[in-house]
Chain A
Amino acid sequence: MSKGKSLINSWFSSKNWKVFDFQEEVWNACLDGKKGILNAPTGSGKTLALWMPNLIKWIEKHPDSYQEKTNNGLKVLWITPLRALAKDIQSALQSSVDDMSIPWEIGRRTGDISQSVKQKQNRRMPEVLITTPESVHILLAQKNYARHFKNLDAVVVDEWHELLGTKRGIQVELALSKLKALRPDISIWGISATIGNLDQAKDVLLGSDINKDSSVVIKANLKKDIYIESILPDEIEKFPWSGHLGLNLLPKILPVIDNHNSTLIFTNTRAQSEVWFQKILEARPDLAGAIAIHHGSLDRKVREWVESSLHEGNLKAVVCTSSLDLGVDFSPVDTVIQIGSPKGVARFLQRAGRSGHSPGAKSSIYFVPTHALELIEASALKSAVNEHEIESREPILKPLDVLVQYLVTLAVSDGFMPDEIFNQLKNTFAYQTLSETEWDWVLTFITTGGKSLSRYQEYSKVVIDEEGLYKVEDRKIARRHRMSIGTISSDSMLRVKYMTGGSLGSIEEWFISSLNIGDKFWFAGRNLELVQIKEMTAYVKRAKGTKSKVPSWLGGRISLSSNMSEILRDKIRQVSEGKLEDIELKTIEPIFEIQKAWSTLPNENQFVIEKTFSNEGCHVFFYPFEGRYVHEGMSTLIAHRIAKHTPITFSIAMNDYGFELLSDQDIPIEKAINDNIFSSKNLLEDISKSLNNTELAKRKFRDISKIAGLVFQGFPGEQRKSKHLQMSSSLFFDVFQQYEPDHLLLQQAFEEVLFFQLDEIRLRKALIKIEKQDIVLNYPKRFTPFAFPIMVDRLREKMSTEKLIDRVKKMQLQLEKHT
């Protein structure tokens, strides 16, 4: 055995740890110069699997001086999606080198690291830097950035499954393309939880210039037992048909908390977590101090306190959101409660896995339905976990907004030569199909603003010098760009602070602006009163009383994964055949009976449509059970096809089971069915046309315009000055639509809607299926159990082919309450 390996082995023994087979496998692969993906869950020893090869190599290279050599430059870059994880990794790595007396420094560089530490790093990089995708790009925006990387040997991308399929993942791809150009022999590894497309995950990470022979996917194959139980209502007849809070079942989860050491309670939104926290305390005042709340809007200090208390086993329960999906190992946690649908198998498993961390321990998770139909999902989740059907993460292709941002980043630092970068881009997975035309457009966009120069006389962002180097010369533009690097876009936020000092977190500006001074609201698990708003800070004091508002955050609504919806449809089929083996399905049998009595419970060959009149107008419901995203596309398509022949205005709502068209006038669905509105012919054309009439693309454009640097959030503490540069993304959208409709960023918005949100392929498949089914049109007198949860949804899409003036004639003036 080599010296390096034997030293590492004895370090493991000194800790009383055993080297797992998969760790050894990863070491050998790394030492053979292979790249790839390690598929292993949190708490399995995955960090050490990818860390040790670096030390082994170091010892092998300097067998006599490995304990002496200092100032070795940056050797390993460790990229993590969550800065909260960075600290833990840092201390794990640091203690291993300290034990072996290797004088390496393990540093962190994330958004919350102080400027002085960053400057120290700029002068002398630590041997290992743990950082986030955004922070890597900020490094690339530094003058002479290549100096940092001249000794770089390895890049490890942690939790790659979280980044894959997101624009932050694209940032990782772009950063890697640059680092590969600087250091061609660099070792690249990703760590991923189980997803359906691990091989593709590897290809995306390594890029299109990947050498298939020298890349591997190594699976830890650690079997974990998971206990799943649904919390069932005692009387399903009294259980609500709609809703998302799920508070009815609160009394039933209290014993779960009591019977366990420490419980994580996952909710789907921040507002929901605030409400649950408050209601648990109301029901069990004795838990005060023993339970906490954790979500992304809370102050970092508050979150860190909760995390370390969990870690130390000081908390009985924490109500949280996806903010605790990832992160440090909370070994005291022995059970998880999921409130409401997690929408996907992978997320459900991820959350379940937050409990029972110690080796050999079982994970346990309780599912709390928030309305009756969610019990079908509970039963579907159980089946999926048993059959091990886990979703894929689809990679994003060619997002131009991220590319624009990256190019300006390079132009801000040392400038770039287009040909060189184009070749590097062609080696990424995301941009391998980037065409010359698209490339030219992007270059034109950052240099002259658009194709017609005369429209952008005063525009200058990136300039081209005599040598053909693209660079940013204006220092203000450079500064603004550095400030706004990052693809996670958020609304303008206000800090929430006590009058006496002490920060609680931040809330979206629009929520605070809906409050008046003296109004009360719940935040961070506290009842607060708004005292004043000053310089982007909302000052509050503690309040009493019960009439407080709960901020509702505008989160994107996640769709049921295609995997889950398939199992869901299968469950509905089982029910229609009378097979009620699962306890969850048995429990909601009375609801199915009502659906059957008032309308139809569809079997495999039936597609049910329901038409119901109320004083709001005419409602038509459709139930494809394909998940929200597909319904988004299908509903706009159907609405468009009906409205093509009759001037009509629709308000459209949907959930994961179906969708509703609502109009003030009779909807001619009978004729539409005869006209074959579910045809998959001309799908793309009809969808594209219908998109123009809705807000979908405009909403997508919000993120795109921020990433591409059109919408500027402002410098901290300088809000007032930058106000003049703020224009809402929807105004940009209108300007572009009017003056430059072929603008590629605009087209990107439409494409993102088509391929990610509407998922054209799934939509087409769904339509083909419906074409083969028998359409059952019912006229229920009341809203059926299937219809009700859709009908009450307030978040609606609109589509109209009526004249504005005709519409207004039927409407009433809505007088706003405040100016």
Chain B
Amino acid sequence: MLRDGDKAIQFMNQDFILAPEKAIYWKEKKALLLADLHLGKSGHFQKAGIPVSSEVNSENLSRLQLITDHFKPKVIYYLGDLFHSAMNAEWREFKLWKNKNPEVLMKLILGNHDFYAIPEYENFGLKCFHELEVNPFILIHDIPDKIQLEDKVFIGGHIHPSIRFKGKGRQSLRASCFCFSENKILLPAFGSFTGTHNIKSSKKDMVFPILEGSVASLSNLI
């Protein structure tokens, strides 16, 4: 199951595989976790007279197909911002894709971008949640800053995390990453061309940057 470039880790006694396609496979639940796909972005821009190639959208879907074929999950949890904005032709592409994979159950945790589309999602049979408890975690789009429930651990996206490295000779670079900390797991944005945001992390955190198609572990690097 583990390919070159994948990274297996254990967290809260659960087994995860971090895929460089920017997704997490959760073995115990046979679940695939993805955040911030921002599908339909290109169509949304095109409608407004701004030419963003539709290949941006199809690339997202073919990457999704690739990991679905590989991990064969029973369920996919979309952790919010599945769609970039109002429905458009690229929605059809997504429906086609979903119909091609009938054996996979799909659930959506609503993100800030998704509110445009709740009726369409529901008509289509994509179950929507504001947050969802999947033991021992809580799946949510935007993990609140001050976490009240000390005993719960959140899995979320929203901020499109990346980290920055600095080196001798005034070098620096940044990479999208997964971040595991005491009470949360952050996923990088799955959608291509979505931008990233540098995160704060402490020494206790485990950060896994994606470098040239493989998930690296910081402890091996530094």
Contact = CB atoms under 8 A, between A and B. Distances in A.
- Among B46, B52, B209: residue with most chain A CB under 10 A: B52
A480 interface: yes
Contact of B218 (A618, A734, A813): A813
Contacts of A725: 44-45, 48, 50
Interface in A553-597: none
Contact of A814 (B53, B165, B169, B214): B165
A121 to B, nearest CB: 28
B165 A808 contact: yes
Contacts of A814: 163-166, 172
Given A449-B51, A724-B84, A819-B199, A649 B159 contact: no
A819 B159 contact: yes
A650 B50 CA distance: 36
A232 to B, nearest CB: 34
A514 interface: no
Contact of A477 (B49, B170, B173): B49
Nearest to B55: A739
B147 interface: no
A809 B221 contact: yes
Interface string B186-222: 0000000111011111100001010110101010011
Contact of A807 (B53, B54, B89, B171): B171
Contact of A735 (B44, B53, B166, B201): B53
B198 A664 contact: no
A649 B166 CA distance: 13
- Among B55, B165, B168, B175: residue with most chain A CB under 10 A: B168
A142 interface: no
B85 interface: yes
Q: Is the interface of A mostly helix, strand, loop or mixed?
A: mixed
A811 B171 contact: yes
A284 interface: no
Contact of B211 (A805, A812, A819): A805
Contacts of B50: 709-710, 712, 725, 727
A813 B173 contact: no
A616 interface: yes
Nearest to A819: B200
A813 B207 contact: yes
B219 to A, nearest CB: 11
B100 interface: no
Given A731-B195, A805-B212, A724 B169 contact: no
A616 B84 CA distance: 44
A736 B44 CA distance: 17
A472 B221 CA distance: 54
A1 interface: no
Contact of A805 (B194, B216, B218): B216
B146 interface: no
Given A662-B169, A816-B200, A474 B51 contact: no
B29 to A, nearest CB: 29
Contacts, number: 161
Contact of B49 (A461, A616, A650): A461
Interface string A437-464: 0000000010001100011111111000
B157 interface: no
B164 A459 contact: no
A728 interface: yes
A414 to B, nearest CB: 18
B88 interface: yes
Contacts of B173: 804, 807-808, 811
A251 interface: no
B212 A458 contact: no
23 contacts: A445-B51, A450-B53, A454-B54, A459-B49, A460-B46, A460-B49, A481-B49, A649-B171, A664-B171, A725-B50, A727-B41, A727-B195, A734-B193, A735-B52, A796-B170, A803-B212, A805-B212, A805-B216, A809-B221, A811-B165, A811-B166, A811-B172, A819-B199
Given A459-B49, A804-B175, A804-B211, 14 more contacts: A458-B47, A458-B88, A461-B49, A618-B169, A651-B171, A725-B45, A725-B48, A735-B56, A735-B193, A805-B221, A811-B221, A812-B165, A813-B222, A815-B202
Interface of A: 445, 449-450, 454-461, 472, 474, 476-477, 480-481, 616-618, 649-651, 662-665, 709-710, 712, 724-725, 727-728, 731-732, 734-736, 738-740, 796, 798, 803-805, 807-819
